[in-house]
Amino acid sequence: MAGVSRTPVQIDFNSLISDEVAYELDIRDIAHIFRSSEEKSRLISANWGATVITRRLEEYPVEEELVAMRRKVAELEVLLVENAPIRRVSRRLNALYVHCVYRVRRSMFRGNTEEFISIAKRINRVGEACEQAFPLIGYTKLAVLEEDELEARLAALQLRPPRRAPSPPASPPHSSHSKGKTSKKKKKKSKKRHSKRRDSSSSSDSSSESSSDSSEEERPARNRKVREIARLSFHYSGNKGEDLHEFVSKLNNAAEMYDYRGKDLLGAMGALLQGNALTWYTARKHEFRGWGQFVKEIREAFNPAGNDDEIHEKLENLKQSSEETYAVYEARAEELFSRLSDHPSDKEKLRKLLKGLHYYYRSRVKSTDIASLSALRRECRDLEADKMHLMRLEKKETKRREKEIEKEREQKRRSRDNQVFAPVYQVDCSSQSSSSDADVEVAAAVSSTPRVQRAPVSIMKNCWRCGGQGHSANECPVAVFCPRCGLPNISDARSCPNCLRAQAAGQWSVAGPGNQTGAWGGPTQSSMAVPAPFWMQCPPPPLPRGPAPLPQAINPQFRQDTAPRGKH
């Protein structure tokens, strides 16, 4: 834009990643190994105008710099595509642009000049596009020579042997003196011919040596690239669940990023292929003339027959996630479209994309107004500005509703539990005595309190006496009897009158250490021993129907033995 003053693009050092910050500090000979990222950013900000140390710059090989700049420029172009159409100023875009300009300028004429100049032209195109998108910012351009002028300079720099001037024709002989001169000239010519032959042979030997040296120099570089490819983390074995297209795409991306050739990729297939794919490659590896032929034949060998059906199914199930932008969603769909044998039309693509859109976009985009892919892309990008804020509000509202629903469920559950397990308070005040005024007042207060009547609770009862269910021990139908004598309606032998009379008469003894089951015996056994369980005791002998006889009736000497002894 003519007449508009532009502000030079500013670099935000916090937007540079670790390898970029390390490069800028290394070439200025600033120690930074044991520093944090914030400290490194402050260091480079303070020393941005410092002089670059040449020897530190030369420590970075030209080939590695070329690979790094290809990767950086590719990222720069992606950032341009993401931010320029919506006119969003990106700090990462500006910082990476300035870094690429200075880095290419330092390495352009150290080697591989043509490649660096092509990269510089790409950077200049990014700068022009940024100036069109952001009219108030000025982007520094790299000075790039024209291709014709560059070729002329390179041709002038090449070492070529100088052309020899043609020798003048020999004059005809006129005398013996002239014959001697001519013979001398012939000898000189023969010597020159021999010297030329020696020079040509030496030059041919040197050229062959140089070619062999160059091939020997290229061989370790190629071996290094093959080893790098062989160490990649993805593999393909030819199984049904594996994706051949994804495997080939990853290899193509790696080749474009790191400047691998088709020969390098083919040389590393023995390490990247496994299973049936490795068997197939081993049998046919000498037939492949290039990478394209290999890709074509491996697709024919391992691509399933129903590939289109599987891809159509994936397209039908393709959905955009909540954290995914439309650009990423469209790229995933386009990757599936590219796998189809019959390329779908734009109308079909539009239908698939609208079907899988996230509800945020689908509820705000009118499908009747969208007639092309570009229109859908434009509408979705306009909606992405407020997407995160609105989705955050929707998440908060959803969480609030879930908490309210959970609270209502908890209240219902507690009320239901109170209905089932609430005690029944019934107070009978008729039996209370009026012994004191306080008791009368308490009885009146209790009688005036309304009785709580609950619905009958269907709780399963357990009887501890017989082990049955449905009744308590008081309601147990099993007959109660004395465990010693079997007298009915007596549950404890200590309160059984029959057992007490028999024990008092000495006819029944309590079980003890010498009498484990209890039996008929005298009163010599200890009555303090713990009685044995009723299942270990023998049933008592039958007793007379009448009351048990008194001790003196059974043993006449009882009275004499127990009578007090006086003085004689």
Read off the pLDDT of each residue in 315-338 and give the average, rounded to a whole number.
85
Q: Is residue 209 part of a domain?
A: no
Amino acid 194: pLDDT:
53
Both 23 and 137 in a single domain?
Answer: yes
Neighbours of 386 (CB within 10 A): 11
Contacts for 140 with CB less than 8 Å, ≥ 6 apart: 8, 9, 98, 101, 127
DSSP alpha helix (H) spans, 341-462: 346-355, 359-362, 373-383, 387-421, 437-448
Is 87 domain-assigned?
Answer: yes
How many Cβ atoms sit within 10 Å of the Cβ of residue 183? 11
Report d(CA 353, CA 334) in Å as an integer: 10
Q: Is residue 118 part of a domain?
A: yes
146 and 20 in a common domain: yes
Q: What is the pLDDT of residue 497?
A: 86
Residues 484, 482: Cα–Cα separation, whole Å: 5
Final residue in a domain of this structure, among 385, 415, 440: 385
Interatomic CA distance for residues 138 and 406, integer angstroms = 58
CB–CB of 104/69 below 8 Å? yes
The listed range with the strongest mean pLDDT (36-40, 442-446, 488-492) is: 36-40
End-of-domain residue from the set 343, 365, 385: 385
Q: Is 137 inside any structural domain?
A: yes
Contact 352, 336 (CB under 8 A): no
Is pLDDT of 512 > 70?
A: no
The predicted structure's pLDDT at residue 151: 54
Inform me whether the pLDDT recorded for 92 exceeds 70: yes
Q: Within this chain, do residues 369 and 261 fall inside the same structural domain, yes or no?
A: no
Q: Average pLDDT in the 96-119 region? A: 85
DSSP state of 175: S
The pLDDT value given to residue 405:
92
Per-residue pLDDT tens over the stretch 186-243: 555 555 555 555 555 555 444 444 444 444 556 667 678 888 888 888 888 888 778 7
Please give the backbone phi and psi of residue 180, each rounded to the nearest 5 degrees, phi first. -65, -40
Q: For residue 540, what pLDDT band results from cuts at 50, 70 and 90?
A: low
If asked whether residues 94 and 42 sit together in one domain, one would say yes
> Rg of the chain's alpha carbons, rounded to an integer?
53
Q: Is residue 472 part of a domain?
A: no
Asked whether residue 341 is domain-assigned, the answer is yes
Residues 49 and 119 reside in one and the same domain: yes
Provide the pLDDT for residue 216: 52
- pLDDT (0 to 100) of residue 307: 67
The answer to whether residue 475 sits within a structural domain is no
> Tokens 């013979």 belong to which residue?
183
In this predicted structure, what is the pLDDT of residue 548?
A: 52
Q: In which region does residue 238 sit, left (phi positive, over 0), alpha (psi from -120 to 50) or beta (all else)? A: left
Which amino acid appears at position 350 of this protein?
A: L
Q: What is the CATH number of the domain that holds 380?
A: 1.10.1200
319 and 271, same structural domain?
no
3-state secondary structure (DSSP) of residue 236: strand
Q: Are residues 139 and 118 in the same domain?
A: yes
For residue 60, give every residue at least 6 positions away whose Cβ sits within 8 Å of its Cβ, in sequence order, or none: 23, 26, 27, 107
Each residue of 356-396: pLDDT tens digit? 888 888 888 876 678 888 888 888 888 877 777 777 777 88
Q: Do 259 and 331 sit in the same domain of this protein?
A: no
The alpha carbon of 197 is separated from its chain's Cα centroid by a whole number of angstroms, namely: 71
Query: What tens digit of pLDDT does each residue of 395-446 get?
Result: 888 888 899 999 888 888 888 766 655 454 444 444 444 445 555 554 555 4
283 and 374 co-located in one domain: no
The answer to whether the beta carbons of residues 86 and 325 sit under 8 Å apart is no
Return the pLDDT at 309: 78
Residues paired with 117 in a beta bridge: none
Rounded CA separation 510/504 (Å): 11
The contacts of residue 127 (CB under 8 Å, 6+ apart) are 97, 139, 140, 141
* Cα dihedral value 71, 72, 73, 78, nearest 10: 90
Q: Which pLDDT band holds residue 515 (cuts at 50, 70, 90)? A: very low
pLDDT computed for residue 175 by the predictor: 44
Question: What pLDDT does residue 179 have?
Answer: 44
The residue that leads in pLDDT, 100 or 479, is 100
- Domains contained in the chain, number: 3
| 272 & 321 share domain | no
Work out the pLDDT band at 459, boundaries 50, 70, 90: low
- Whether the CB-CB separation of 285 and 242 falls below 8 Å is answered with no
Does residue 219 or residue 50 have the better pLDDT?
50
**Are 50 and 104 in a shared domain?**
yes
pLDDT at 176: 45
Q: What domain range includes position 372? A: 313-385
Sign of CA dihedral 528, 529, 535, 537: negative
| pLDDT given for residue 519 in this prediction | 46
The two tokens of residue 3 are: 């007449």
> Where a domain ends, among 385, 418, 437?
385
pLDDT value at 285 more than 50: yes
Give the pLDDT of residue 336.
83
141 and 18 inside one domain: yes
Least confident of 81-85, 130-134, 221-225, 281-285: 221-225
CA distance 243 to 241: 7
- Is residue 205 assigned to a domain? no
The answer on pLDDT for 125 being more than 80 is: yes
Strand partners, 236: 273
* DSSP state letters, 470-517: SS-STT--SPPB-TTT--BT---GGG-HHHHHHHHTTSS----SS-SS
Q: Which residues lie below 8 Å from residue 496, measured CB to CB, with a gap of 6+? A: 482, 484, 485, 487, 490
Mean pLDDT over each residue of the chain, to the nearest integer? 72
The kind and range of the H/E element at 137 are: strand 137-138
* pLDDT given for residue 432 in this prediction: 44
Strand partners, 481: 488
